């Protein structure tokens, strides 16, 4: 069995995907529904996705950064349910990728209520998890 390569400071727990499928994926899907359609989102690529990608050696590091980035969307204050799902995805992902180097650089503030960026971030997190889990089968 070939397992995905991760950066040295992060390692992925639960490579079978049980926690992802039973908890994180459900919250990601709920957040996706709550943020509505992305039909009126611009097609440009934010800097975050140019700098941070889910490639074959940095999946865990990408997920860790993306999970940290999610927390700033708590300020959108959409609803209590939204915040619960957001924290579930953010904290759950950080727990599952288990990164030892706590890079506490200030995460650049995204526009406070950029729902388009949030939808893209959720899509990228989901795609990255699916990539990791496919590699472990």
The pLDDT value given to residue 84: 92
Supply the range of the domain harboring residue 55.
10-37+44-102+111-135
Per run of 10 residues, the mean pLDDT along the chain (length 137 residues) is: 50 74 84 76 71 78 88 82 91 85 51 72 87 69
**Which pLDDT score, from 0 to 100, does residue 1 have?**
40
* Rounded CA separation 73/115 (Å): 9
- Amino acid 53: pLDDT: 78
**How many structural domains compose the chain?**
1
pLDDT of residue 87: 92
pLDDT value at residue 58: 79
The pLDDT, as a whole number, for residue 6 is 40
Distance CA 63, CA 28 (A): 13
Query: Percentages helix, strand, coil for the chain, rounded to the nearest 5?
Result: 60, 0, 40
pLDDT at 137: 44
Residue 4: inside a domain: no
Q: Do 11 and 101 meet the contact criterion of CB atoms below 8 Å apart?
A: no
pLDDT at site 123: 87
Q: Determine the 3-state secondary structure of 112 from DSSP.
A: coil
Q: What is the CA radius of gyration of the chain?
A: 14
Q: Is residue 73 part of a domain?
A: yes
Whichever domain contains 84, its CATH number is: 1.20.1250.50
């Amino acid at each position: 069995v070939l397992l995905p390569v991760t950066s040295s400071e992060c390692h992925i727990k639960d490579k079978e995907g049980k926690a992802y499928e039973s908890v994180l994926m459900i919250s990601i899907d709920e957040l996706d529904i709550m943020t509505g359609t992305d039909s009126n989102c611009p097609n440009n690529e934010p800097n975050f996705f140019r700098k941070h990608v889910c490639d074959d050696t940095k999946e865990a590091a990408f997920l860790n950064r993306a999970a940290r980035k999610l927390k700033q969307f708590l300020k959108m204050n959409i609803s209590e349910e939204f915040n619960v799902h957001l924290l579930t995805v953010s904290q759950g992902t950080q727990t599952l990728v288990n990164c030892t180097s706590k890079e506490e650089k200030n995460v650049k503030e995204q526009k406070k209520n950029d729902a388009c960026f949030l939808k893209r971030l959720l899509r990228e997190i989901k795609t990255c998890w699916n990539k990791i889990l496919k590699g472990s089968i």
